[in-house]
Structure 1
Amino acid sequence: MRLVHNSLHDEVAAQLRERIFDGELTPGTFLDEVRLAEQLKISRTPLREALKVLTAEGLVRHEPRRGCFVNEVTEHDLDEIFPVLALLEGRCAFEAARKASDADIAVLDDLHQKLARYAKAKRINEYYATNFAIHEAIIALADNRWLAGVIGDLRKIVKLSRLQQLHAPGRLEQSFSEHLAVFAALKARDPEGADAAMRTHLTRQRDALRALARAQSTRLA
Structure 2
Amino acid sequence: MTETTALLTPKPLYVEVAELVRQQIYSRELEPGSWIDEMKMVEKFGISRTPLREALKVLAAEGLVTMKPRRGAYVTEVSEKDLRDVYHLLSLLESDAAAVVAQTASDQQLQLLQDLHLALEQAVSDADQFFHINEQFHMQLLAMCDNRFLSQTVADLRKVMKLNRHQSLFKQGRIKDSLKEHGAIMLHLSDRNAESTRKAMQAHFRNGLTAASSS
Q: Tell me the amino acid that sits aligned with residue 35 of structure 2.
A: F
Q: Distance in 2 between matches of 1:5 and 1:24?
A: 27
Q: TM-score, normalised by structure 1?
A: 0.87
2:61 to 37, 53, 56: 56
Matched letter for residue 122 of structure 2: R
Give the 5 Å matches for 1:170-209: 170-209=173-212
CA RMSD of aligned residues (A): 1.7
What per-residue deviation string (whole Å, max 9, x for no partner) do you get for residues 19-55 of structure 1?
A: 1111111112211222222222222111111111011
Does structure 1 residue 87 correspond to structure 2 residue 72? no
* Residue aligning to 1:7: 12
SS in 2 for 1:31: coil
Q: Secondary structure at the match of 2:83?
A: helix
Q: Structure 1 36/87 Cα, relative in aligned 2: closer, same or farther at 3 Å?
A: same
Report the 3-state secondary structure (helix = DSSP H, G, I; strand = E; otherwise coil) of the residue aligned with 1:160: helix
| 1:108 corresponding residue in structure 2 | 113
- Stretches of structure 1 lacking an aligned partner (at least 5 in a row): 213-221
Measure the CA separation in 1 of the matches of 2:176 and 2:211: 12
The answer as to whether partners of 2:131 and 2:166 remain within 8 angstroms in 1 is no
Q: Please identify, of 55-64 and 191-200, the stretch whose mean Cα deviation from structure 2 is larger.
A: 191-200
Q: 2:136 aligns with which of 128, 133, 136?
A: 133
**How many residues matched?**
207
Residue 73 (structure 1) shift: 0.9
Q: Name the CA distance, whole Å, in 2 between partners of 1:151 and 1:15.
A: 21
List runs of 5+ in structure 2 lacking aligned partners: 1-8
2:4 is matched with: none
User: Residue 117 of structure 1: CA displacement?
Assistant: 3.4
Distance 1:56 1:187, change over 3 A: same
Do residues 28 (structure 1) and 19 (structure 2) align?
A: no
* Structure 1 pair 162–106 and aligned structure 2 pair: CA distance change class (3 A): closer
Task: State the Cα distance separating 1:108 from its structure 2 match.
Answer: 1.8
Contact 1:13 1:51 in 2 (8 A): yes
Q: Distance in 2 between matches of 1:148 and 1:165?
A: 23
Counterpart CA distance in 1 for 2:29 and 2:126 is 24
TM-score, normalised with respect to structure 2: 0.89
Name the aligned partner's letter for residue 23 of structure 1: R
Instruction: Measure the CA separation in 2 of the matches of 1:197 and 1:56.
Output: 31
> CA 1:118–1:10 in structure 2 vs 1: closer, same or farther (change >3 Å)?
closer
Offset of residue 76 of structure 1: 1.7
Q: Which runs of 4+ in 1 moved over 4 A?
A: none
Of 93, 101, 122, which residue of structure 2 is paired with 1:96?
101
For residues 89-135 of structure 1, the C-alpha deviation after alignment (integer angstroms, 9 at most, x for no partner) is 1111012112210111122222222323334xx33333223222211
